[in-house]
Chain A
Amino acid sequence: MNAETLERIKEECRKLPAEISYIVGFVRKQSEPREVVAVLKPDEVDKLSFSPLSFNNPARTVMELAKDNKVAVIAKGCDARALKQLEKEEKIERENLYIIGISCPGVIDYRKFRNTVKFRLAEIDSVELIGDEVVVKAGGEEQRIPFSEVIFENCLYCEQPTPKDYDVLIGEPREGKVDFSDIEEFEKLSAEERWSYWMDVFSKCIRCHACRQVCPMCYCNECLVDPSNLAVSPMTPAEEKAAYPRVLGRTVNAADNLIYHIVRVMHHAGRCAGCGECERACPMELPLRKLERKLEKVVYEVFNYSPDEEIPFLSKLDILPEG
């Protein structure tokens, strides 16, 4: 994830098939060293940027755009996994996509980065990952930070650093791993310790629904556990409004918040791409991936399901042995 990666991306983007009408890639944010997802025309390749701070997931942007257009997308392992999932759920057609896959060594945790970097964010010229070090340059100065100090923790357990499905791949393929040691560690705590941990976590949750907003899998127009987004129009008759499913009220408290997160996570069983957008978006910095990962562990260990399977996990018939 250095200048060379960016050059390769640009190179590939310059020779895209003619029918591609948009590129969904990363563009550097003004006055900050990180990239955001942007939609570009094929002639705007020069605007592209890419760095270990290109941590966002472009899948949802692609989902909207690829309905009527052919789109090229720059996708890290998790991004590609989200795209694949959306494809399984008939939200995207593969033929509308041109995937420029990135073999991803992991991305930077922006919160850690801001606390570690010595420059003012606006001054930073470039951030590159060279070997094990993040090299930050600003006005001729350079700071080298060991990657392990700022890596997004989620990336340590990445199952799929390299996209499985791509049209072109940049970088040497990397092996993923199945590692639930963090979850196993947590499971060793007593039930009471776990409960107080989560009560502590969820008493902080303000149910702003940011996690739902950014999640590539939470594309539902309405959410069973998000009473704030029921599609009620002024024309909705009272009877119908009463018939709308409502599990939770709007009051915010730890138990309701827990139910919100459990239901949301259950809907992600076998679908979660593992990108960690939920955690990044959470203003309260809650460890939301932990619940998702617990479920991933169950899906993997009990159901032996791989997210690469064609049929969505929740729809799949599993006949488990009794006992």
Chain B
Amino acid sequence: MPVGAVLVIGGGIAGIQSALDLAESGFKVYLLEKLPAIGGRMSQLDKTFPTNDCSMCILSPKLNEVGRHENIEIINNAELVGIEGEAGDFKVKIKKKPLYVDPARCTGCGACSEACPVSAIDEYNEGLSYRSAIFLRYPQAVPKVYSIDRDKCIGCGICQNVCVAKAIDYNQKEEEITVNVGSIILTPGGQLADAVKRGEYGYGLYPNVITSIQFERLLSATGPFEGHVARPSDGKEPKKIGIIQCVCSRDEKTNPYCSSVCCTYATKHAIIAKEHIPDAEIHIFVMDLRTFGKGFEEYAKRAEEEYGVKYHRGRVSVVMQKKDGNLLLKYEKNGRSYEEEFDLIVLSVGFEPPEDMKRYAEILGIDLNEYGFVETDTFNPISTSKPGIYVAGVVSEPKDIPESVAQASSAAAKASSIIASERGKLITKKEYPPERDVTGEPPRVGVFVCHCGINIASMVDVERVAEFAKTLDDVVFADHLLFTCSADSQERIKQAIKDHNLNRVVVAACTPRTHEQLFRNTLREAGLNPYLFEFVNIREQCSWVHTDREEATRKAMELVAAGVAKARLLEPLQYIEVDVTKRALVIGGGLAGMVAALELANQGIETYLIEKEPELGGNLRHIYYTIDGRDPQELLESLISEVENHPLIKVYRSARLESIEGFVGNYTSKIVTESGVEDVQHGVIIVATGAKEYKPKEYMYGEHPKVVTQVELEHMLYNGHVPSDVIMIQCVGSRNNERPYCSRICCQTAIKNALKIKELNPDANVMILFRDIRTYGFLEKYYKEASEKGVVFVHYDPNNPPAVRVEEGKLVVEFYDEILDDTIIAEPEYVVLSAATVPNEENEEISKLLKVPLDANGFFLEAHPKLRPVDFATEGIFLAGIAHSPRLIPETISLAYAAVSRALTVLTKDKIIMEASKAEVIRERCDACEMCVKACPVNAIEIVEYETRAGVELKASVNKAVCLGCGVCSATCPKAAIVVKGFTFNQIKEMVDAVNEVDVILAR
């Protein structure tokens, strides 16, 4: 019998995503993290490229979601010891190291840390600041439990004395536990290379040479200087910053592979630094600028044009320090040497496998590749060499956050595939007593004011606040509790609800962002609707930020008065439940569509697959080999036969989607084929409409028969026609004004075809004219191989591109060679154009049908470029394959699995339960002016007909399954005829009034 639980090793963003996907689709998850807090590398980032979103802002909600998910158990400060069993039934031994703090008691107040006399190097700030020996890794850490660093602790006992919650336990012992799981996902991330290895850059020697992650912390508002950029030697603001790329990447001495993310993060660093120091001059030294991801090329262009960041193509040979701390940097460009002085040098260090990777690999019995990362296969990018163990994120190859998140979802899909039969068996569902009907009852408000040990009580007179609360209208009970969040306090609250027949509860304590769910739950356990609860924040937003006890107490009263005023108007709200049709529609029968359909079907989901062409396969039909020598046609054949023979997949060929109606869980689509029209019902949609190769208008394409595209060349080679003299031109139709994006795949395709030509005819001449060679990750080795085999690479400047002309029927290519400083004229047999990957024209129609957006380039636009790479903002619609952006086969496959994983979080539920705080129309007041309809960011509002006594009337109506509860509608409506429940016009208005009326109340 397989086990319906999964172990996720590594609590970074990938592990978090895997855990959430699995827990949401019916599996128990153990999330193992070696540090006391999850969050991984992303928690250290200030911003994320290419949107410059605040990293913590998007990560923190995920951390909290994991922290409170009933089916995720975080095993922190722990490591893997051993494993037994096989796929479907593993027994995993885990060593839990002591935190020396009891997590059940610790409230995360931080009094211990403030009192601790020890000052130790803060790893979170990469050694740029200090922390105490008892500490929280970062303020938003989950679990929010302090821990003692026993190496640094001097055992003075002060923390134990100041901890009111009695949470400190010096005697905690290491403990070994065993978990039983069906599959394992490996997401330990990677470590950053040690820049000391490149001694010539002076890291560790010169204080003003820092690593990129240190710079990230410097730029962060939560960093060592609170966002003020200061250089370490003298705290001066650097005015001239040099950023050196490929430090311990693409480097035979350290790591030969490319770390994939550094070019774009350096661009980010440059932009943010410019925002901090507008008059700063920033130079980035690159070998090739590899901004290949979605939106990255545009990002780099913006850095250059809007922010004046200067990119130099050249290798830095040495950095030397001057007396004043400034640094002299020597670099080579086109065979000439240059020297330049900087205030600060940032080394863009690359990724390496995690330090304990080898040990983990041994324990788990999985293979590592030549670089020490986890070995995977081009067609199975998520699987390790051992069945039942999957992998996601940097540990299998350096990659950015969206690729890691997509892989994490993919891994969740694969991990659940083998235990699909056990879905829902190990998860717990809580039972609550029936809800008391409070309609018609006058409000009876109970107020609980928290001391939070001394966190609140030291600055706010909690007892006086509780006394004051008793004087407020409709308050029938008020109390103050030492720790309102503790288990015994929940019992006291429940008892008070019973004893005093409370029908509204106000807690004045910390922040709703972490504790609201806890108290809502308590209300439910007491038989009250969870929405009859209001949270008042008197810790983070009162006691911790004020210094005068009298004033803080007064403010706490005002906030409590506001909370009570709102509570009096709270209504019971029902969680929104939507039935789910457990079938899927996949649009597009290429690689992504087929992989997605197959995985869905393998997990028991009936799937409709529609393909516009008469046969399945899409672009995969035109790919005959991969760069690592695999056979895509074999993959194609097996996929087609599996898809066609799967009893749960229905394929529609030469088909078109005519209409789609409905919302998450409940879609109805009309599919038109040659044999007629069919209506199908399904709960989710996966968009996998692909893209295609651009038909160039440049370089005589179409005018001379021997000017071909890479796809055409590949077809020629496959048919045994091997040219002997070829010039390839990169970036044809990409990275220009019309198509500003990088097509990502063409550099490797060119090298793949060049190597193939060399393999078939070692004497052939192959030259590649390029702007930047973007063989990211492990592809770098093929770049090297091609050079070694005699493929000639010549850089060209987009302002002086090569020219192709025909002279007496012969092809002539003219280009400028920077190193020779000369114009070269060549007469190749073939000119091969690396043409852009362009979106399909149908995208526009499909985007309108589904009401999902396209980006500026015509590809589909995901809900969030970082953390929701395969979701659309509209729930129930997902994105896979190159309809998202150009990508390679393994990346396409992982996006397809990711879309499946996300879809399964919907499809595995009988009902989707949604937050009840949604917009609602007050029909009597609505006159269908449609202003809300057009303002709604998610198109959740429509005008419908209602039968009234006056006849048929038009009114706005909210589709609660779609509504997100943002309330833009409510502020747009001229008559407050649409309100968000829980934030209604009057509820907030009463709060406004109450804050101002406290004078009056205190006076009486």
Contacts and interface: CB of A to CB of B under 8 A. Distances in A.
Interface of A: 89-91, 219-224, 231, 239, 242-247, 267, 311-312, 314-317
Q: For B440, B927, B928, B931, which residue has the most chain A Cβ atoms within 10 angstroms?
A: B931
Contacts of B931: 89, 312, 314-315
A297 B569 CA distance: 39
A244 B974 CA distance: 14
A311 B934 contact: yes
Nearest to B929: A89
A316 B976 CA distance: 18
B503 interface: no
Contacts of A91: 929
A231 B984 contact: no
A245 B928 contact: no
Summarize B's interface: helix, strand, loop or mixed.
Answer: mixed
B115 to A, nearest CB: 42
Given A90-B929, A222-B925, A231-B925, A312 B934 contact: yes
B943 interface: yes
Given A220-B975, A312-B934, 12 more contacts: A89-B929, A89-B930, A91-B929, A220-B974, A224-B974, A224-B976, A245-B976, A245-B989, A247-B989, A314-B935, A314-B974, A315-B935
B419 interface: no
Contacts of B688: none
Given A89-B930, A91-B929, A219-B927, A314 B972 contact: yes
A317 B931 CA distance: 12
Contacts of B972: 314-315
Given A245-B985, A267-B974, A316 B927 contact: no
25 contacts: A89-B930, A89-B931, A90-B929, A90-B930, A90-B954, A220-B929, A221-B925, A222-B925, A222-B977, A223-B975, A224-B974, A231-B925, A239-B440, A245-B975, A245-B989, A312-B929, A312-B931, A312-B934, A314-B935, A314-B972, A315-B931, A315-B932, A315-B933, A315-B934, A317-B935
Contacts of B933: 315
Interface of B: 440, 569, 924-925, 927-935, 943, 954, 972, 974-977, 984-986, 989
B405 to A, nearest CB: 27
Contacts of A247: 989
Contacts of A311: 934
A260 to B, nearest CB: 13
B95 to A, nearest CB: 51
Given A219-B927, A224-B976, A231-B924, A316 B934 contact: yes
Contacts of A317: 935
A163 to B, nearest CB: 22
| CB-based closest 10 A-B pairs | A315-B934, A245-B976, A267-B974, A315-B935, A245-B985, A89-B929, A315-B931, A220-B975, A222-B925, A90-B930
Contacts of A245: 975-976, 985-986, 989
Contacts of B977: 222
Nearest to A86: B929
A114 B954 CA distance: 44
Nearest to B972: A314
A243 B570 CA distance: 10
B723 to A, nearest CB: 50
Contact of A243 (B440, B927, B934, B984): B984
A229 to B, nearest CB: 10
Chain A CB count within 10 A is highest, among B569, B932, B935, for: B935
Contacts of A244: 986
B930 A312 contact: yes
A71 B984 CA distance: 40
A159 B119 CA distance: 70
A245 B931 CA distance: 18
A242 B443 CA distance: 13
A89 B927 CA distance: 10
A250 to B, nearest CB: 17
A242 B943 CA distance: 27
Nearest to A91: B929
Contacts of A90: 928-930, 943, 954
Contacts of B935: 314-317
Contacts of B569: 242-243
A219 B986 CA distance: 23
A316 to B, nearest CB: 7
Contacts of B930: 89-90, 312, 315
A250 B929 CA distance: 27
Contacts of B985: 245
Nearest to A221: B927
Nearest to B439: A239
Contacts of B975: 220-224, 245
Nearest to B979: A245
Contacts of A224: 974-976
A231 B925 CA distance: 8
A91 B943 CA distance: 12
A146 B943 CA distance: 51
A224 B925 CA distance: 10
Contacts of A267: 974
B363 to A, nearest CB: 52
Contacts of B954: 90
B537 to A, nearest CB: 26
Nearest to B984: A243
A312 B928 CA distance: 13
A36 B712 CA distance: 76
Nearest to A223: B975
Contacts of A312: 929-931, 934
Contacts of B976: 224, 245
Contacts of A222: 924-925, 975, 977
A211 to B, nearest CB: 15
Contacts of B986: 242-246
Contacts of B974: 220, 223-224, 267, 314
B945 to A, nearest CB: 13
A278 to B, nearest CB: 16
A267 to B, nearest CB: 4
A213 to B, nearest CB: 16
Contacts of A315: 930-935, 972
A221 B929 CA distance: 11
B568 to A, nearest CB: 10
A89 B974 CA distance: 13
A168 to B, nearest CB: 29
A217 to B, nearest CB: 9
A35 B931 CA distance: 34
Q: In this complex, which of A231, A311, A312, A317 has the most chain B Cβ atoms within 10 angstroms of its Cβ? A: A312
A248 B195 CA distance: 66
B861 to A, nearest CB: 15
Contacts of A242: 569, 986
Contacts of B929: 89-91, 220, 312
B700 to A, nearest CB: 42
A91 B928 CA distance: 8
B27 to A, nearest CB: 40
A168 B974 CA distance: 34
B467 to A, nearest CB: 28
A243 B443 CA distance: 14
B984 A220 contact: no
Contacts of A243: 569, 984, 986
A262 to B, nearest CB: 13
A87 to B, nearest CB: 11
A89 B943 CA distance: 12
B856 to A, nearest CB: 14
B927 A220 contact: yes
A48 to B, nearest CB: 31
A158 B931 CA distance: 26
A91 to B, nearest CB: 7
A16 to B, nearest CB: 28
B431 to A, nearest CB: 31
Contacts of A221: 925, 927, 975
Nearest to B935: A315
